């Protein structure tokens, strides 16, 4: 029954020669008891289905409501209407699923993104989210294609771990113990995790990096691509509690190799989306223009979405040190006029406003910042000879700030153990990680790219909750 279906995206590219075809999809609109706008999710464009007056039963026509699902067979003919080359003259019509028009929340009108988040189970059916999630799919596919072509091994790192890779402590606990009356140790009444499922305290992963390094020191080059979790109480347009990360790790690789790979990687996946989702990106670009018409001129984007993406592809990323970045900020009109909310001085962890100033106002292109102060970076980053900085790198992108964070890893076991002691990272719990430095240590590096921030950048969506299917945020775990 279903295997003869032709997708609407394909059908719209055909030359109409009175071919007999079958399509299936959902009703977007039905007017004059004659014209059905049918959509099957393969494209934002609808297929016009023409029902000959008097040919179909009145009771059947009453059931053709917004979002009802149809199976239509008919003849593909040239369209007389504007904006479409073909239309389908129906010879048979079957309703696969009814939709109560009065109760269906997505009426054919403009809805706010806030409202659509409340009905996230239905928002895929809108043009905006259809475009966003087709682009998201393409970016995910391109990621695998990029690393596979380079000979990287795709490693599935654990979602449940006993380590905190970032040392941040903002983790979701995983337990089977009773919440009402957990077993406790006699000495200090702390929770006795020996009676838990894993026999120890465990949590959802914040990063696959540490396990990724184990793979890299055997296969040479690996990448992970999976969900990560942060129990950070950040209710902002840039943060999620559950998000996806791409984390390559490469043996025999230093900071410069790391930067080169990250820049090539970002350009590759953007180019793939540009080549395979042009129609969706053009729709999202126009949506952004319409949205920004409500803003004052100085708040609008200087470039259109397509223009911005092409600019990233056609320009080398600017590379500066952290110290140079701080100097630029200190000399900036924004700093001198006290426009920054947060202070600027050497040693700070740059805020989003600082990062965005560098890329949007000063350089006007993506920027790679290197050699950060060691005190604001993780224990595993390679210490530089100056004793103050580490071989870290962040890539900052227009519109969202940090999109990639990475570093050359500390391969010298004495330096690594010393840093772990300074930062109170328990070396005995990470004995397996230190083994990579005991048995054939090599210079190696890697980075993490937050997938949702990348999707945000490519689609132009302003809120990260609108580029993941079902956002998990503080006080929100719906659907």
Phi, psi of 320 (to 5 degrees): -140, 160
Domain assignment present for 393:
yes
Residues 331 and 406 in one domain: yes
pLDDT of 170? 84
Residues 55 and 161 in one domain: no
pLDDT of 236? 84
Domain assignment present for 111:
no
Strand partners, 93: 72
Residues 86 and 134 in one domain: no
* pLDDT, tens digit (0-9, with 9 covering 90-100), for 32-83: 999 999 999 999 999 999 999 999 999 999 999 999 999 999 999 999 877 7
Domain assignment present for 115:
no
Share of residues in the chain with pLDDT > 90 (%):
84
* pLDDT, tens digit (0-9, with 9 covering 90-100), for 210-249: 999 999 999 999 999 999 999 988 888 888 999 999 999 9
Q: Rounded distance, CA 41 to CA 209, Å? A: 36
Half-sphere exposure of residue 231, counting CA atoms within 13 Å on the CB side? 12
Helices 127-149/255-276 angle, 10° precision: 130
Query: Where a domain ends, among 50, 77, 97?
Result: 97
pLDDT of 168? 58
Domain assignment present for 102:
no
Distance of CA 263 to the CA centre of its chain: 17
Coil vs helix vs strand at 476: strand
How would you list the strands of the sheet with 160-161, edge to edge?
160-161, 202-204, 173-174
Residues 248 and 370 in one domain: yes
Domain assignment present for 472:
no
Domain assignment present for 377:
yes
Domain assignment present for 275:
yes
Residues 257 and 153 in one domain: yes
Residues 41 and 130 in one domain: no
Q: Tell me the mean pLDDT in the region 262-280.
A: 97
pLDDT of 235? 83
Query: Where a domain ends, among 81, 97, 113?
Result: 97
Coil vs helix vs strand at 149: helix
DSSP character string of 56-104: S-HHHHHT--TT-EEEEEEEEEE--STT-SEEEEEEEEEEEE---TTT-
Number of domains in the chain: 2
Query: Where a domain ends, among 80, 97, 114?
Result: 97
Residues 31 and 90 in one domain: yes
pLDDT of 2? 67
Residues 327 and 231 in one domain: yes
Residues 6+ apart with CB under 8 A from 465: 117, 237, 240, 471, 473
Task: Write out the E strands in 178-307.
Answer: 202-204, 221-229, 242-251
> For position 136, which CATH number holds?
3.30.930.10
Distances (CA, A) of 327 to 254, 261, 345, 358: 26, 27, 9, 11
Residues 325 and 424 in one domain: yes
Residues 329 and 447 in one domain: yes
> For position 34, which CATH number holds?
2.40.50.140
* pLDDT, tens digit (0-9, with 9 covering 90-100), for 396-405: 988 878 999 9
Distances (CA, A) of 357 to 77, 145, 338, 351, 371: 54, 33, 13, 10, 19
Residue 108 has pLDDT above 90, yes or no: no
pLDDT of 51? 96
Q: Rounded distance, CA 227 to CA 205, Å? A: 8
The parent domain of residue 80 ranges over 8-97
Q: Model-level pTM?
A: 0.93
Coil vs helix vs strand at 427: coil
pLDDT of 240? 94
Residue 3 has pLDDT above 80, yes or no: no
Domain assignment present for 323:
yes
Residue 165 has pLDDT above 70, yes or no: no
Residues 347 and 222 in one domain: yes
Regarding beta strands 221-229 and 153-154, do their DSSP bridges make them parallel or antiparallel, or are they unpaired? parallel
Q: What is the mean pLDDT of the chain?
A: 93
pLDDT of 100? 95
* pLDDT, tens digit (0-9, with 9 covering 90-100), for 462-472: 999 999 999 99
Residues 226 and 292 in one domain: yes
Q: Rounded distance, CA 469 to CA 479, Å? A: 10
């Amino acid at each position: 029954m279903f295997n003869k279906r032709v997708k609407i995206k394909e059908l719209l590219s055909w030359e109409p020669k009175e071919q007999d075809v079958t399509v299936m999809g959902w009703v977007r609109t039905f007017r004059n008891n004659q014209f059905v706008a049918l959509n099957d999710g393969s494209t934002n464009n609808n297929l016009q289905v023409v029902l000959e007056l008097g040919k179909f039963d009145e009771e059947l026509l009453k059931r053709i409501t917004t979002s009802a699902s149809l199976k239509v067979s008919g003849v593909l003919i040239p369209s007389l209407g504007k904006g479409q080359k073909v239309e389908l003259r129906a010879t048979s019509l079957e309703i696969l699923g009814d939709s109560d028009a009065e109760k269906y929340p997505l009426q054919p009108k403009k809805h706010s993104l806030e409202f659509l988040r409340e009905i996230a189970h239905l928002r895929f059916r809108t043009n905006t989210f259809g475009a966003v999630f087709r682009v998201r799919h393409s970016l995910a596919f391109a990621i695998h294609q990029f690393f596979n072509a380079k000979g990287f091994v795709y490693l599935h790192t654990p979602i449940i771990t006993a380590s905190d890779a970032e040392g941040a402590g903002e983790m979701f606990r995983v337990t089977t113990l009773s919440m009402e009356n957990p077993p406790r140790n006699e000495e200090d009444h702390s929770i006795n995790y020996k009676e838990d499922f894993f026999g120890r305290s465990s949590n959802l992963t914040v990063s696959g990096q540490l396990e990724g390094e184990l793979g890299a020191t055997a296969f040479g080059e690996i990448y992970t691509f999976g969900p990560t979790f942060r129990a950070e109480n950040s209710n902002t347009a840039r943060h999620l509690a559950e998000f996806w990360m791409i984390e390559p790790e490469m043996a025999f690789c230093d900071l410069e190799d790391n930067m080169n790979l990250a820049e090539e990687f970002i350009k590759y996946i953007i180019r793939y989306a540009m080549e395979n989702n042009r129609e969706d990106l053009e729709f999202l670009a126009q949506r952004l223009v319409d949205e920004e018409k409500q803003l004052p001129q100085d708040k609008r984007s200087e470039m259109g979405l397509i223009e911005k993406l092409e600019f990233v592809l056609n320009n080398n990323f600017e590379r500066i040190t952290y110290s140079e970045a701080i100097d630029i900020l200190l000399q900036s009109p924004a700093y001198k006029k006290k426009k920054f909310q947060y202070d600027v001085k050497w040693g700070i962890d740059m805020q989003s406003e600082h990062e965005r100033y560098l890329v949007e106002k000063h350089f006007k292109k993506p920027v790679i910042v290197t050699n950060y102060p060691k005190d604001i970076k993780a224990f595993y980053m390679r210490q530089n000879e100056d004793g103050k900085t580490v071989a870290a790198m962040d890539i900052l992108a227009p519109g969202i700030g940090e999109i990639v964070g990475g570093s050359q890893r500390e391969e010298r076991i004495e330096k690594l153990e010393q840093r772990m002691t300074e930062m109170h990272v328990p070396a005995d719990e990470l004995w397996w990680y230190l083994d990579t430095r005991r048995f054939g240590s090599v210079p190696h590096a890697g980075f993490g790219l937050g997938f949702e921030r990348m999707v945000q950048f490519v689609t132009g969506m302003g809120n990260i909750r609108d580029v993941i299917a079902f956002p998990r945020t503080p006080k929100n775990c719906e659907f």
